[in-house]
């Protein structure tokens, strides 16, 4: 069992008859992500390394073939052990050296610039940063233990990007001065710095086409030079956004997945509903409702109070503002059709104060899948 390594639930297993080890996703023919750039909980690099070590201890001499979920097999005991050891030591080196430098007072960004892998690890192409990167994995370890604050009080309560950017550009002599200097640095190939500066110019002046075009060119160059595929994709997506804006393409709706929705606990669905609640809008509202699911014989009291949504299983309140009767199999309507359509659906019955039901529906946000990543929203 290897929980909280590549995934919250992970398992490696050995098949004695075949002398075969399934290494799940804890070993790969690439450096994996300790933090995924798409956004997720940071993974425990120490645990990850330890699980690979334990696997070698448990099964090492008997393994003749190793297979994984996303990459091709490895054959031969000596090759497999070498592969496992170097993957184990990859994550342990990142973990231990990040904490060593953190204990010397270096910050997350500084440490990410300082650490390089030993040649014994870095020259194995399966340890290269094609998917995870050494730079952002180091930052992940730092953040896993120490969080976002670097202990410098100047970074404790910074201005938000749009406000800070206007100040930065003003201090630098205005947009034309910044753009002129950025063009010179771009011609020198100083793309990381140009991106850092032009980010502020675009945030301060989002309609400055010359700045956006130069920043797009810069992202493009950074993308072309990136060994890491996820970095490259972010750079090129940023360039595309600056040149073309956001193209709103069709997106999947989890509510359309029957198996997913039918197997989610009702409590998890209500948790998801709760994060749609517009807290400031609901801050002064007090609404109590009974939610009854007759097909599975479950009921809940759902309450909006203090700007949050809480629920109580196996409860019913006679004085509730209204009662919703809906079958468990139809609860996906909360997300597939939208709350505003619920009171028009034949699959739901509302008993009680319909005005309070309408008020309830009005308190929830809709999530927009398409949002800016390199320009102000």
CA distance 329 to 31: 42
CA distance 317 to 351: 13
- Residue 60 forms part of a structural domain: yes
Number of domain units in the chain: 3
Q: Examine the domain organization and report whether 323 and 221 are in the same domain.
A: no
364 strand-pairing partners: 277
Instruction: Please state the pTM of the whole predicted model.
Output: 0.88
Tens-place pLDDT, residues 14-34: 999 999 999 999 999 999 999
| pLDDT at site 108 | 97
- Residue 371 forms part of a structural domain: no
CA distance 210 to 95: 42
Q: Which helix (H) or strand (E) covers residue 352, if one does?
A: strand 348-352
Q: Which of 244, 269, 302 is the last residue of a domain?
A: 244
Q: Is the pLDDT of residue 336 over 80?
A: no
- Residue 3 forms part of a structural domain: no
Q: Examine the domain organization and report whether 272 and 308 are in the same domain.
A: yes
Q: Which of 146, 179, 199 is the last residue of a domain?
A: 146
> In sequence order, which residues have a C-beta less than 8 Å from that of residue 376 and are 6 or more positions away?
161, 162, 203, 206
- Residue 221 forms part of a structural domain: yes
- Residue 8 forms part of a structural domain: no
CA distance 352 to 328: 21
- Residue 4 forms part of a structural domain: no
* CATH number for position 58: 3.60.15.30
Q: Examine the domain organization and report whether 137 and 20 are in the same domain.
A: yes
Q: Examine the domain organization and report whether 332 and 265 are in the same domain.
A: yes
| pLDDT at site 225 | 97
**pLDDT, mean of residues 269-285:** 94
Specify the residue for token string 């690890």: 121
E strands, 211-367, are 287-293, 298-305, 308-313, 322-326, 348-352
Specify the residue for token string 């359309």: 256
Q: Which helix (H) or strand (E) covers residue 77, if one does?
A: helix 77-102
Tens-place pLDDT, residues 155-207: 999 999 999 999 999 999 999 999 999 999 999 999 999 999 999 999 999 99
Q: Examine the domain organization and report whether 24 and 126 are in the same domain.
A: yes
Specify the residue for token string 């098949």: 15
| Least confident piece of the model among 38-42, 123-127, 142-146, 326-330 | 326-330
Domain span including residue 170: 161-244
Structure tokens that stand for 244 in this block = 């073309």
Q: Examine the domain organization and report whether 113 and 22 are in the same domain.
A: yes
Specify the residue for token string 């100040």: 167
Q: Examine the domain organization and report whether 93 and 178 are in the same domain.
A: no
**Nearest alpha-carbon partner for 262 in 194, 330, 312, 210:** 330
Tens-place pLDDT, residues 63-102: 999 999 888 999 999 999 999 999 999 999 999 999 999 9
């Amino acid at each position: 069992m290897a929980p909280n390594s590549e995934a919250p639930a992970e398992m490696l297993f050995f098949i004695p008859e075949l002398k075969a080890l399934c290494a799940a996703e804890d070993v790969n023919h690439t450096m994996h992500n300790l933090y995924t750039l798409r956004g997720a909980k940071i993974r425990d690099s120490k645990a990850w390394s330890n699980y690979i070590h334990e696997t070698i201890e448990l099964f090492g001499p008997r393994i003749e073939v190793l297979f994984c979920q996303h990459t091709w097999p490895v054959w031969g005991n000596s090759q497999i052990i070498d592969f496992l050891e170097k993957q184990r030591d990859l994550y342990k080196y990142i973990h231990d050296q990040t904490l060593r430098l953190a204990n010397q007072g270096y910050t997350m960004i500084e440490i990410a610039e300082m650490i390089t892998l030993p040649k014994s690890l870095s020259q194995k192409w399966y340890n290269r940063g094609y998917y995870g990167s050494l730079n952002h994995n180091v930052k992940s370890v730092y953040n896993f233990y120490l969080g976002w604050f670097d202990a410098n009080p100047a970074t404790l309560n910074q201005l938000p990007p749009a406000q800070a950017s206007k100040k930065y550009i003003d201090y630098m002599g205005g947009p034309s001065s910044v753009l002129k200097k950025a063009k010179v640095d771009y011609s020198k190939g100083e793309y990381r710095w140009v991106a850092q500066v032009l980010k502020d110019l675009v945030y301060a002046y989002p309609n400055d086409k010359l700045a956006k075009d130069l920043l797009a060119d810069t992202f493009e160059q950074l993308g072309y030079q990136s060994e890491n595929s996820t970095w490259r994709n972010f750079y090129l997506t940023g360039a595309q956004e600056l040149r073309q804006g956001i193209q709103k393409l069709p997106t999947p709706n989890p509510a359309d997945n029957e198996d997913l929705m039918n197997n989610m606990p009702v409590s998890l669905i209500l948790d998801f509903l709760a994060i749609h609640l517009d807290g400031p809008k609901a801050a002064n509202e007090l609404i109590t409702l009974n939610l009854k699911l007759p097909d599975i014989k479950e009921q809940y009291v759902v309450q909006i109070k203090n700007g949050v949504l809480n629920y109580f299983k196996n409860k019913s309140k006679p004085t509730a503002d209204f009662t919703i009767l809906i079958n468990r199999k139809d609860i996906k309507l909360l997300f597939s059709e939208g709350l505003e359509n619920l009171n028009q659906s034949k699959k739901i019955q509302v008993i009680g104060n319909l005005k309070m039901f309408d008020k309830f529906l009005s308190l929830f946000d809709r999530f927009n899948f398409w949002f800016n990543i390199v320009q102000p929203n």
